[in-house]
Amino acid sequence: MQLPLFPLKTVLLPGNSLPLKIFEPRYSDMIAECMRETKPFGIVLIYQGEETDSEVEIFTTGTSAAVTDWQNRADGLLGITVRGQKRFRVLSTKTQQSGLLIADVEFIEEEPEQDIPDQFYYMSELLEHVSNQKGAKEKERNFCDIVYQLIYLLPLDSTLKQQLLEVPQCLDRAVVLHAELIRLGVIQYVKPGEK
C-alpha cells in the first residue's frame, strides 16, 4: 500500500492524538486530499534533518494517522488533530516534485486485546495518575492500549518512544518500558519475594 508521509520530530503511537500546525503547501495539499478521500497518511520520526527539509532521513517504522479535527488558526495556518491508527514498515520511498514523500508500506498486525498481566497492573494506575482522568484505568482495559498511552504521556525521549514503537510484541514493549521507568526513578525495583 502507498502512503504519503509526514516526517516529524515526534512519534505518533496507535490510539494517541497529536495536534499539528500545517504551513507547507506539500502538506496542505496532502491533508486536503486525505480529508476529501477519507484516507490516512503516515507519520514517521526524522532520523536526520529538519521538518522543513525536502530531503530527510527517517526511521522505517511509523504510524498511520487519520484527521479527527481541524480549524483555521488565528495565525492563518491550518490546525489539525490526528489520531494514530496502525503501525507500518516503510519498504521504499519516492519524493514527488512538490517535495512530498510517498512510501510503499506494509502494516504491522497488532495483537488481540489482552488483560493487564499482574506484574504490570501498576501501569493502569500510573496511567490514571499521569492522564489526570478519573476512571482512566476503567476505560483503558486493553493492556496494549495502556502501554501505548503511557509511552505517549510520559516525558520520554523521542528516540526511546521510537524504539518502543518498533518492539513487535506488547508484552516485550511493557518490559522495556518497565525497565525505563525504574531507570528514571518513576517506580522502584522490588526483588521477587520482597514487599
158 in the same domain as 103: no
Q: Which three cell numbers stand for residue 17?
A: 492524538
Shared-domain flag, residues 137 and 42: no
* Residue keyed to cell 522505517: 60
Residue pLDDT, tens place only, 161-181? 999 999 999 999 999 999 999
**E strands along 35-75, which residues?**
41-48, 57-58, 61-72
Q: Which of 107, 126, 144 is the last residue of a domain?
A: 107
CA–CA separation, 105 and 89 (whole Å): 5
Indicate whether 99 and 142 sit together in one domain.
no
22: Cβ contacts below 8 Å, ≥ 6 apart? 28, 31, 77, 78, 79, 80
pLDDT digits (tens, 9 = 90+) for 71-124: 888 887 889 999 999 999 999 999 999 999 999 999 999 888 888 899 999 998
Strand 2-8 relative to strand 41-48: parallel, antiparallel, unpaired? Answer: parallel
Q: Extract the C-alpha cell encoding 160.
A: 526511546
**Among 60, 32, 57, which residue's Cα sits nearest to residue 46?**
57
Assess whether 6 and 95 both reside in one domain. yes
Q: What is the pLDDT of residue 113?
A: 85
Identify whether residues 41 and 64 lie together within a single domain.
yes
Domain stop point among 73, 107, 141: 107
Beta bridge mates, 90: 105
Residue 193 lies in a domain: no
- 124-161 pLDDT, tens digit per residue, is 889 988 887 544 444 557 899 999 999 999 989 999 99
Distance CA 43, CA 32 (A): 16
Tell me if 113 is assigned to some domain. no
Amino acid, res. 160: L
Prediction pTM value: 0.87
21: in domain: yes
Helix runs in the chain, H state only: 25-36, 121-131, 136-139, 143-153, 158-166, 170-183
Range of the domain at 45: 2-107
Q: Give the chain's domain count.
A: 2
CA 145/CA 139 separation, integer angstroms = 10
End position of a domain, from candidates 107, 140, 162: 107
Q: Could you tell me if 149 and 16 are in contact, meaning their C-beta atoms sit under 8 angstroms apart?
A: yes
Residue 189 lies inside a defined structural domain of this protein: no
